[in-house]
Structure 1
Amino acid sequence: MQQAIEEGFILDVLRNYTSYKLAFKLANKGKEWDEKAVEHAEAMKGLMRWVRLHPYNISQRVQIVVEHFREMVTPLLDGKAKAMVVTGSRLEAVRWQIAINKYIESQGYDIKSLVAFSGEVNDNESGPEPFKETSTEMNPDLKGRDIREAFRGDEYQILLVANKFQTGFDQPLLCAMYVDKKLAGIQAVQTLSRLNRCYPGKDTTYVLDFVNKPDDVLAAFKTYYTTAALEGVTDPNIVLNLRTKLDEYGFYDEHEIERVVAVELNPGAKQKQLEAAITPVADRLLKQFLAAKNAFKEAESDKNEAAAKAAKDKMNVLLMFRADAATYQRVYSFLSQIFDYANTDFEKRSIFFKYLLRLLKFGREREGVDLSEVVLTHHNLRNKGKQRMKLAGDKYPELSPLSGVGTGEVREPKKAYLNEIIEKVNDLFKGDLSEQDKLIYVNNVLLGKLLESEKLAQQASSNTKSQFDNSPDLDSEIMNAIIEALDAHTEMSSQAVNSRAVFEGLKEILTGPSRLYELLNEQNSAS
């Protein structure tokens, strides 16, 4: 990447990178959740999705995108410059397209947008019929044209995408990208690199990121900036170990594998033949999981702990089998391109698992989370300014080899109360709404100072977490950090110094959600 940039083959897309931070508060008017536990991960996911799809949230981002495009991008390339908006889901793409067209029309701007997503999207809030790329509400003037071809001309200036055109899309007129999707690793590099194509007169690009942390994006790019290096070597025996583990589950036999492979390799085979070959295996496993699930519920009702554990173990074995089969297929597809396993049994299992996994739907049920009484009470989208994204430096991340596959375990979902979850979300995101936000104060100020303490680093490495939490040195180091922060955060520090309750609250956050003990040990391991 460095050589390509220096020699003018591509542009440095991080030169004008601006990040935004969302702050919001939620309130739950209903009381029905006070005593009902919900799955923590699913509730958090549901709440965040609800906020992202909230009309006010989208409208604020749309306004930022359109006004930035008009002010900064339109003047580029003699008015031919284009932009891409990367959304987090197909549903978000639909909502964005409706909102952006509405805003452009209300302002009377001479701008036209396209939206690209696959399949159909059902969104009763936006319209009674499913939405497609070809729907009149989405791309009314497309008239059967390919989106790539339509966007190439002068008619359209902004392209909204959802899991499309983030890789392999070559449009040199792209000068700006507005990111509203979580990106990581190579995906961040591939997505933002849609902007790096050279074009006569093109020397400026813009990235406005509503979601990702600048440091994470920079780390992803630095991996490929000089020389992409591996920190270790992938062991080709991973596939052999996985094959052995999967066979030992005893959920299929060689005859069933051969039956599916024979249909796959027969050019004249019909879909019904494939279904007849794979369905008996899938049905058997689905019935085993359902039986174990029912047995678990019955044992819990009868308060039979031994029977409940046995049923739960059976469910977990089936869930782990499915995860291992998916891992086998992914790893084999990669390694078989560069390593000859000299045994067709590996390929046959890859074919078998490909069709089996499509049918194994067990364990994906989610407890519903009622968000009908949740309301958005505060919203603030703050421009954090242009970030210093310096690719050249001393340290560059290395690519990790494949390792530890097939060694996972099924984890119990963490349970929490909905109101508690809302409270945590508010704690996490309300920092920009108030200078008094204790979590920002703890994580951005106190935690940073405590991680520099050699005394605490030594205690964390030689004590259990319980011993560390009760260390008198921890109290004194926290107090030192509070006093050091007194000038910049007078009111918060004064409260902590003068109130034991506030001090204990800060300590509880530091040793709990802020993971002071764990971070110190991670530091110790890295040094």
Structure 2
Amino acid sequence: VGKRYLIQHSAGSGKSNSITWLAYQLIEAYPRNEKAANGREADRPIFDSVIVVTDRRLLDKQLRDNIKDFSEVKNIVAPALSSAELRQSLEQGKKIIITTIQKFPFIVDGIADLGDKQFAVIIDEAHSSQSGSAHDNMNRAIGKTEDLDAEDVQDLILQTMQSRKMHGNASYFAFTATPKNSTLEKFGEKQADGKFKPFHLYSMKQAIEEGFILDVIANYTTYKSFYEITKSIEDNPEFDSKKAQSRLKAYVERSQQTIDTKAEIMLDHFIYQVFNRKKLKGKAKGMVVTQNIETAIRYFQALKHLLAGRGNPFKIAIAFSGSKVVDGVEYTEAEMNGFAESETKEYFDQDEYRLLVVANKYLTGFDQPKLCAMYVDKKLSGVLCVQALSRLNRSANKLSKRTEDLFVLDFFNSVEDIQQAFEPFYTSTSLSQATDVNVLHDLKDRLDETGVYEQAEVNDFTEGYFANKDAQQLSSMIDVAVQRFDDELELDLDRNEKVDFKIKAKQFLKIYGQMASIINFENIAWEKLYWFLKFLVPKLKVQDPMDEFDEILDAVDLSSYGLARTK
């Protein structure tokens, strides 16, 4: 108990079933001898409860159903549909508790002392569930709570630091297909050469060879865009800068003319190469991956218009969160689809729906074996690239789905970009060395030297924060540093210096947030600065000189746009 295990299983290889089987085995695990019992009765299970944590709501019900199917004992899975149910299940020692990471913050302050119990925590997609304050709250929930009435502020700070570490009364089993460096360092096994590797590996290569998943980049094709613009104002030095060109490209790629052109290519391919050929026994589906919600809405409208002109051979759906105003009109997913947002997955599974337009939603944690075509108009790199394209790799034996049935048409990325993203995860992912803690010393020194804040202000803020002072009082404390940051007369920071300060502050927050849960060090000065910067950074505004480029965009017209297949 108290150890950490990283399980790297390829996306689509049955990770949910592996999590289910592990949870079921852990509740039946008993110590082999007195030493393994760790002072507990030998006939008592090693773990009082197994907590399965997922940050994907789609998987919450799926995992609950899977574990119920595995177990012969009724009511072995405790429902945790609300924070109250979750708290009650933990306190009563329910065997298997499945919850989402979003529920943990609600139980942190009110949960009973659970330090005398032992837990197994199974984390699905470790890199996403384990970042930020949500994970801090999870560790606080299952650790021993000290006397919160302690008057010494430094004691309170130390307590918070300790609560963010992984407690000795819990073992962690972290599942992910695409581990980041921070995940490897936190959960991986350190090798003799200093590298970190997963405890267990089921690689993408092995999963493809054994037929559990399909090779999504075997049929990967790219298109390159060519366009001309006309500008009705005199040349501006900013116009030829790299940033200006990037902004101009974004303008071109989100224009309705451009989207209409690409939408027609997408639809032609899907109708003639997928739909009319009755791939997957006539049930094949496709996904259109777009840059953002605005472009998703424009693509959806363009595709619907094109489909109407062809007699509406099938229906399409769109998925995005919240609401978005485009051209003065407010849109929601439910309004555009004609059914509730919670029903999108079920409707898209119906045979009459063949294309799903998305921005960020459904790029992870979405299993639809009928997907075989993807049309990408979004920058994809690293983990997100692998996760997004892996939506296609689910095998479907009943539909005779093969690698030859898959097709990716990419308007944004290059073949080299995609290969580079997939390479680390094709076999095994390893981290060459641990994060150097001395980086924090250097960052703090540089931040202190800038003069944006004074140490007394940091001390006063953290003292007030841990004493639960009024939010308005705390905000006014932060505002002192904000005003100093903005005041050109007091500090005389130019734009580059302001940008540099904000970047270094963000780096400190990220690195310290990771290190505090890995290494057993307690540096009160770092902890104080962490909480101060966490509230300061969002208030720091740096003017972007590219804002002036907007006037150029207003004077630009897209005179021609074309596409050419590059692979």
Q: TM range, normalised to the smaller chain?
A: 0.5 to 0.7
More displaced, 236-245 or 320-329? 236-245
Q: Aligned match of 2:528 in 348, 365, 379?
A: 348
Could you tell me how far apart the structure 1 residues matched to 2:236 and 2:526 are?
A: 51
1:78 has 2:281 as partner: yes
1:17 has 2:17 as partner: no
* Equivalent position amino acid for 1:187 in 2: L
Could you tell me how far apart the structure 2 residues matched to 1:111 and 1:351 are?
A: 53
Report the equivalent of 2:429: 228
For residues 38 and 21 of structure 1, do their structure 2 counterparts lie closer, same or farther at Cα, with a shift above 3 Å needed?
A: closer
For residues 284 and 101 of structure 1, do their structure 2 counterparts lie closer, same or farther at Cα, with a shift above 3 Å needed?
A: same
Could you tell me how far apart the structure 2 residues matched to 1:265 and 1:69 are?
A: 57
* Equivalent position amino acid for 1:362 in 2: V
Following TM superposition, by how much is the alpha carbon of 1:278 offset from its aligned partner in structure 2, in angstroms?
Answer: 2.5
CA offsets 1:254-303 (integer angstroms, 9 cap, x no match): 4433444456556x7664344334233223322x24x58xxxxxxxxxxx
Could you tell me how far apart the structure 2 residues matched to 1:263 and 1:202 are?
A: 60
1:178 has 2:375 as partner: yes
Following TM superposition, by how much is the alpha carbon of 1:153 offset from its aligned partner in structure 2, in angstroms?
Answer: 4.0
More displaced, 148-157 or 321-330? 148-157
CA offsets 1:99-137 (integer angstroms, 9 cap, x no match): 11111112112322222233443322xxx2233323x3x
Q: Is the 8 A contact 1:46 1:369 kept in 2?
A: no
SS in 2 for 1:170: coil
For residues 39 and 18 of structure 1, do their structure 2 counterparts lie closer, same or farther at Cα, with a shift above 3 Å needed?
A: closer
User: If each structure's strand is expressed as a fraction of its own residues, which one has the higher value?
Assistant: 2
For residues 328 and 12 of structure 1, do their structure 2 counterparts lie closer, same or farther at Cα, with a shift above 3 Å needed?
A: same
Report the equivalent of 1:472: none
Q: Aligned match of 1:211 in 391, 395, 412?
A: 412
Q: Is the 8 A contact 2:229 2:557 kept in 1?
A: yes
Q: Aligned match of 2:312 in 85, 109, 114?
A: 109
For residues 240 and 374 of structure 1, do their structure 2 counterparts lie closer, same or farther at Cα, with a shift above 3 Å needed?
A: same
Following TM superposition, by how much is the alpha carbon of 1:228 offset from its aligned partner in structure 2, in angstroms?
Answer: 2.1
Following TM superposition, by how much is the alpha carbon of 1:208 offset from its aligned partner in structure 2, in angstroms?
Answer: 0.6
Q: Aligned match of 2:560 in 360, 378, 382?
A: 378
Could you tell me how far apart the structure 2 residues matched to 1:259 and 1:103 are?
A: 62
1:278 has 2:478 as partner: yes
1:58 has 2:240 as partner: no
Report the equivalent of 2:62: none
1:253 has 2:454 as partner: yes
Between the aligned residues of both structures, percent identity stands at 35
Correspondences of 1:139-150 after superposition (within 5 Å): 139=337, 141-150=338-347
Could you tell me how far apart the structure 2 residues matched to 1:194 and 1:344 are?
A: 44
Could you tell me how far apart the structure 1 residues matched to 2:392 and 2:514 are?
A: 28
Q: Aligned match of 1:328 in 483, 508, 513?
A: 508
Q: Is the 8 A contact 2:214 2:394 kept in 1?
A: yes
* Equivalent position amino acid for 2:563 in 1: L
For residues 152 and 258 of structure 1, do their structure 2 counterparts lie closer, same or farther at Cα, with a shift above 3 Å needed?
A: farther
For residues 339 and 26 of structure 1, do their structure 2 counterparts lie closer, same or farther at Cα, with a shift above 3 Å needed?
A: same
The two structures have a TM-score, normalised by structure 2, of 0.57
Could you tell me how far apart the structure 2 residues matched to 1:277 and 1:150 are?
A: 51
Following TM superposition, by how much is the alpha carbon of 1:207 offset from its aligned partner in structure 2, in angstroms?
Answer: 0.6
Following TM superposition, by how much is the alpha carbon of 1:155 offset from its aligned partner in structure 2, in angstroms?
Answer: 5.0
Q: Is the 8 A contact 1:83 1:177 kept in 2?
A: yes
Report the equivalent of 1:3: 206
Q: Is the 8 A contact 1:319 1:363 kept in 2?
A: no
SS in 1 for 2:496: helix
Q: Which runs of 5+ in 1 are unaligned?
A: 293-309, 386-527
Could you tell me how far apart the structure 2 residues matched to 1:270 and 1:171 are?
A: 48
For residues 351 and 77 of structure 1, do their structure 2 counterparts lie closer, same or farther at Cα, with a shift above 3 Å needed?
A: farther
Following TM superposition, by how much is the alpha carbon of 1:212 offset from its aligned partner in structure 2, in angstroms?
Answer: 0.9
Report the equivalent of 2:333: 133
* Equivalent position amino acid for 1:98 in 2: Q
Q: Which runs of 5+ in 2 are unaligned?
A: 1-203
Report the equivalent of 1:237: 438
More displaced, 65-74 or 13-22? 65-74
1:167 has 2:364 as partner: yes
Following TM superposition, by how much is the alpha carbon of 1:205 offset from its aligned partner in structure 2, in angstroms?
Answer: 1.6
Could you tell me how far apart the structure 2 residues matched to 1:159 and 1:264 are?
A: 45
1:33 has 2:234 as partner: yes
